[in-house]
Amino acid sequence: MRAIFRAFFIYLFVVVSATLCAEKYITTFQPETPEKFKRFGEYFYDMKNVNPYPIPNVLDRPDGKGKVKTAQEWTQQVRPLVLKYFEDEVYGAIPPRPDTIKFELFESSKNALGGIAERRQYRITVGAKYGERTFHVLLYLPLNAKGTPAFICPNFNGNYTISSEPEVKKIIAYRSRMKTHQRGSYASRIPVAEIVARGYAIATFSYEEIYNDGKSQEIAQKSVYGIFEENPTPKNSIAMWAWGNMRVMDLLQTLPEIDSQKIAVAGHSRMGKTALLTGAFDTRFAYVIVNNSGCMGDALSKRKYGETIKSMFGTHQVGYWFSPALKKYIDNEGTMPLDQHHLLATIAPRMLYTTSATEDYWADPEGQLLGLIHACPIYKLFGATNFPTLDALEIEKPVHANVAYHIRKGKHDMTSYDWNNFIDYAEKCGWKPKTK
């Protein structure tokens, strides 16, 4: 009996010690200088401003006809209403499929990444009433891939910055800032060798080949919008970037080496917002990964902590990412009938992973997790029972439940730690790489 008591108290000591030692993210006031306030005209991290509005229940129908009771009701009646709201009020419409689409393999090697991968470079040419546009996709596959799962993840600075291999085509004039970079300088953000070594394919493209990240009329006209409109104006670039993800999906679905039922879309920051929109409107994506996406991504706008609608349209001048209709909610989030958890819920019952970082206050880590938590009642309609709680704010303790979440130490970024967790969760959900 004494031995049993001793064992019990040892167990209790271990549990209590682990609890006390656990490091958890807590939303706190972050000091801001008077100069910053003068520049931005508001405090972003003032705790007295947090949670000023109630969060609408995701089960409440937007049309006021009671609560959603079944997965069928959600899928057939309510989900289309949610998507219509985000199309009309937030992101604008995603363009249709192009009238023509051509895939050209212009370079390949079966001895890539030190002999562990096959590299392919594709030129995708899309056409419609007002002409054609071209963009480039860099694809790495495990050697002898056969029905392998794949990730699509846009990059920010050009395909050549994701790989140091000299054969990767160097296209420079992307960013409105016109910066150039060293080969492989952003390889840590999409670690292609690590992804391939775990048996997965990875496709990437520069988002600015779809729509250069700027607000000028010239940029809008040179964007892919130019094939659909004679004189496009700066607007809805996130919707256009999501359209680019969908065209890469079109490509991967033609490749027998890829399992077309196991393709994920991933994105960091504004590309995280884009990944979420992509998965919401294109159910071909079985897995949606939303990394550090913040306001108008996975974070709740009604929280009023960190980045806001006002800052995007005002201080940072990125209103062209969205529909002009979103402007009416500047300093007016309380009137928004829906919030970002509704968009997260449209991914159900597919795989969904959202992430935060401890020093990424701008993205509001707690608001990001709350967005995921408030989406989970829709997953429950589909039979899911295992969801994250606010305890998931324990740092680097991933929760791989029916939906997944983690908060990583560090700054606003996408890292090897993130990618290995994305793959761990995929494998928990039954994704198994195959080779011939």
Q: What is the mean pLDDT of each run of 10 residues along the chain (436 residues)?
A: 45 40 88 78 87 97 98 98 98 97 98 97 98 97 96 96 96 63 94 98 97 92 94 95 98 97 98 98 98 98 95 90 97 97 98 98 97 98 98 98 98 98 98 82
Q: What is the maximum span of the chain, computed from C-alpha positions, in angstroms? A: 85
Question: Please, where are the H alpha helices in 99-233?
Answer: 192-197, 217-222
The answer to whether 412 is a known catalytic residue is yes
The residue whose two tokens read 């794949």 is: 150
434: Cα separation from own chain's centroid: 26
Q: What is the rounded CA–CA span in Å between residue 348 and residue 82?
A: 13
For residues 87-123, one letter each, b for 16 or more C-beta atoms within 10 angstroms of the residue's C-beta and e for the rest, the string is bebbbbebbeebeeeeeeeeeeeeebbeeebbbbbbe
Across the strands, what pairs with 118? 141
**How crowded is residue 56: how many other Cβ atoms within 10 Å of its Cβ?**
17
E strand or H helix that includes residue 249: helix 237-252
pLDDT of amino acid 177: 54
Helix (H, G, I), strand (E, B) or coil at 399: strand
- Indicate the pairing of strand 100-112 with strand 148-152: unpaired
Task: Provide the 3-class DSSP secondary structure of residue 228.
Answer: coil
pLDDT in the model for residue 33:
78
- pTM of the model as a whole: 0.94
Of the candidates 206, 223, 269, 323, the residue annotated as catalytic is 269
d(CA 394, CA 356): 11
| 362, two tokens | 């701008």
Which residues make Cβ contacts (< 8 Å) with residue 434, sequence separation at least 6? 145, 146, 147, 148, 199, 259
CB atoms within 10 A of CB 370: 23
Q: What is the pLDDT of residue 15?
A: 37
**Region for residue 430 given its phi and psi (left: phi exceeds 0; alpha: psi -120 to 50; beta: otherwise):** left
Q: Where are the beta strands (DSSP E) in 68-143?
A: 100-112, 117-128, 131-142
Q: Which of 108, 185, 188, 412 is catalytic?
A: 412
CA angle 192, 197, 202 (to 5 degrees): 40
Q: Which residue has the tokens 């996408």?
A: 414
